[in-house]
């Protein structure tokens, strides 16, 4: 009969073998035969037979991009550490570049608008121009384009532009760009204008300051201009909503596997007539704010149909500092409207920038004369 100690050792040995078979050995087999093995096999193949030297790390980086791109969502992208740093610079409001805002329309990277007094405007770039390539590299996302367009001041970047049916290169020299989130002015003795240009880190603070200043100048009604505002930080949008929308629902975010998240305001809101300007360049956070104002009936929307980006992205940092920015939820207006791919229809449809502003001013003036 086998000694008890030998039996015990045999049992321990069998357990270890079973653990290896169920764990490490299984992982090894999957690695050798599964999808990861396929990727490494392709890299090894290219490294062996491609007629030029290859950068294995660059190939594997490309595989990471490819995984995210297979979601077929223009807002879900893989970003290298450097691209992520560039993205954060852009949303901070200060960077070195050419001075354009860009977005995705009809699966194309387009210029939403060139900013006044910037190299982009001086170079003749226009709203609606399609960016095909940056320095000869084909562009697949707005974030990728933005990261490549930015760079050291006084260096040149070449944009390949599609305008109507013509394709041409536009060389532009980068300069330091400082983007105010808000611009404001009095339109007449009683109507103040707030142009909310972006939802960056300073937007809610600058909006509150602009609103306070206009009130001291005698403003009794506000025109809020969200045209060409492609969005930004949702938390800044919610903070700005506190300034305009009284206590109640602002937006709901619907996730795949977690409960719906509802955001509310808690204060009194603006407590004066409000007219909001929107157009096809109003997207994402702009549509959250405009949709809440429209549904809560605290202001009129004037202009044209908004862009229709009703999705929210989350950013997830990987161990090497790269980031996967991925769509995590769809947002709904207070009345439950899902606007992704649809946009918001204005209460008063008007085309043309000057005509839109004139109509908004007229409606604000009428609201002061005939308070409800």
| Mean pLDDT for back-to-back runs of 10 residues, the chain (372 residues) | 47 44 45 73 89 90 89 89 76 79 81 86 93 92 83 93 95 87 90 93 94 96 95 93 97 93 94 96 95 97 96 90 92 95 96 96 93 73
Cα–Cα nearest to 223, from 267, 281, 270, 264: 270
Pairing of strands 311-317, 261-265: unpaired
Identify whether the C-beta of residue 200 lies closer than 8 Å to the C-beta of residue 341. no
Query: 309, 322, 325, 329: which is the annotated catalytic residue?
Result: 309
Q: 121: buried, middle or exposed (CB in 10 Å: 19+, 13-18, 0-12)? A: middle
Query: 142, 263, 284, 286: which is the annotated catalytic residue?
Result: 284
Give the CA distances from residue 234 to residues 106, 152, 200, 286, in Å, rounded to whole numbers and listed in that order: 24, 29, 9, 9
Active site residue 322: no
User: Does the global pTM surpass 0.75?
Assistant: no
Confidence at residue 336, expressed as pLDDT on a 0 to 100 scale: 95
d(CA 105, CA 125): 17
Confidence at residue 33, expressed as pLDDT on a 0 to 100 scale: 62
Active site residue 81: no
| CB proximity list for 300: less than 8 A, separation 6 or greater | 274, 275, 276, 347, 348, 363
Between helix 234-244 and helix 285-295 the angle, nearest 10°, is 30
Identify whether the C-beta of residue 111 lies closer than 8 Å to the C-beta of residue 127. yes
Confidence at residue 344, expressed as pLDDT on a 0 to 100 scale: 97
Identify whether the C-beta of residue 86 lies closer than 8 Å to the C-beta of residue 145. no
d(CA 189, CA 221): 10
Token pair belonging to 167: 């394709």
Identify whether the C-beta of residue 153 lies closer than 8 Å to the C-beta of residue 175. yes
Token pair belonging to 356: 């839109």
Query: 103, 129, 225, 295: which is the annotated catalytic residue?
Result: 295
| CB proximity list for 267: less than 8 A, separation 6 or greater | 242, 246, 247
d(CA 279, CA 281): 5
d(CA 315, CA 283): 19
Active site residue 212: no
What are the DSSP E strand ranges found in 24-99? 77-79, 94-97
């Amino acid at each position: 009969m086998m000694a008890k100690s030998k039996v015990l050792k045999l049992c321990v040995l069998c357990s270890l073998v079973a653990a290896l078979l169920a764990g490490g050995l299984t992982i090894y087999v999957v690695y050798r035969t599964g999808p990861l093995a396929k990727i490494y096999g392709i890299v090894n193949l290219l490294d062996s037979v491609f007629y030029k030297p290859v950068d294995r790390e660059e190939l594997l980086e490309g595989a990471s991009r490819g995984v995210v791109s297979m979601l077929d969502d223009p807002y879900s992208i893989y970003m290298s550490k450097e691209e992520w740093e560039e993205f954060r610079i852009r949303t901070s409001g200060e960077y070195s570049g050419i001075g354009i805002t860009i977005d995705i329309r009809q699966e194309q990277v387009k210029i939403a608008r060139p900013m006044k007094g910037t190299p982009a405007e001086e170079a003749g770039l226009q709203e609606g121009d399609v960016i095909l390539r940056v320095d000869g590299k084909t562009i697949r996302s707005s974030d990728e384009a933005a990261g490549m367009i930015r760079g050291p001041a006084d260096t040149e970047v070449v944009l390949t532009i599609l305008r109507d049916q013509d394709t041409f290169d536009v060389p532009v020299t980068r300069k330091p760009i400082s983007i105010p989130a808000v611009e404001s002015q009095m339109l007449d003795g009683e109507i103040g204008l707030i142009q909310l240009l972006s939802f960056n880190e300073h937007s809610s603070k600058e909006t509150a300051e602009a609103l306070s200043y206009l009130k001291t100048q005698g403003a009794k009604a506000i025109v809020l201009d969200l045209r060409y505002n492609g969005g930004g930080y949702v938390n800044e949008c919610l903070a700005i909503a506190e300034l305009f929308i009284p206590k109640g629902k602002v937006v709901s975010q619907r996730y795949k596997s977690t409960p719906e998240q509802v955001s509310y305001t808690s204060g009194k809101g603006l407590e004066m007539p409000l007219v909001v300007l929107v157009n096809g360049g109003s997207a994402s956070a702009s549509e959250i704010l405009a949709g809440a104002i429209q549904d809560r009936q605290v202001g009129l929307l004037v202009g044209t149909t908004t862009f229709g980006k009703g999705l929210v992205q989350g950013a997830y940092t990987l161990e090497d500092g790269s980031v996967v920015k991925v769509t995590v939820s769809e947002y709904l207006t207070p009345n439950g409207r899902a606007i992704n791919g649809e946009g918001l229809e204005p209460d008063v449809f008007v085309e043309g920038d000057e005509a839109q502003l004139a109509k908004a001013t007229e409606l604000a003036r009428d609201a002061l004369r005939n308070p409800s």
